[in-house]
Amino acid sequence: MADMISYEDFAKLELRIAKVLEARPHPNADKLMLLQVDIGDEQKQIVAGIKAHYTPEELVGKSIVIVNNLAPAMLRGETSNGMLLAATSGEKVILLTADNPDCIAGAKIK
């Protein structure tokens, strides 16, 4: 089991629903995908290691869960401004999504 954290530590995370507007393979990495996402009040790019598990066509239009307040990171020459959340089940990577049409881009997760 991972180390226990306080509620205050957990509360620092800003989890949001993001709608995938565009997805394309990273030009300089075999495992990475570049996602342009809408989080309600802005759009941002997220770089994610999901290329082996999803095609761009499968991602566009999905409402995914992201960590919105993660410090930007440079990954193989591209800036990632957040992190998507996914589960691993055996060899599979499964994106956490919001299927309810009432859940709008930018909705905060508590």
Domain parsing of the chain, residue ranges: 19-99
**pLDDT tens digits for 10-68?**
999 999 999 999 999 999 889 999 999 999 999 999 999 999 999 999 999 999 999 99
How many C-beta neighbours within 10 Å does residue 101 have? 7
What per-residue confidence (pLDDT) applies to 108? Answer: 96
CATH architecture of 19-99: Beta Barrel (2.40)
Cβ(66)–Cβ(37) below 8 Å: yes
DSSP string, 63-105: EEEEETTPPPEEETTEEE-SEE-EEEETTEEEE-B---TT--T
What per-residue confidence (pLDDT) applies to 7? Answer: 94
For the cut 90, the answer to whether the pLDDT of residue 82 exceeds it is yes
What per-residue confidence (pLDDT) applies to 10? Answer: 93
For the cut 90, the answer to whether the pLDDT of residue 1 exceeds it is no
**Nearest by Cα to 66 from 28, 91, 39, 103:** 39
Beta bridge partners of 63: 19
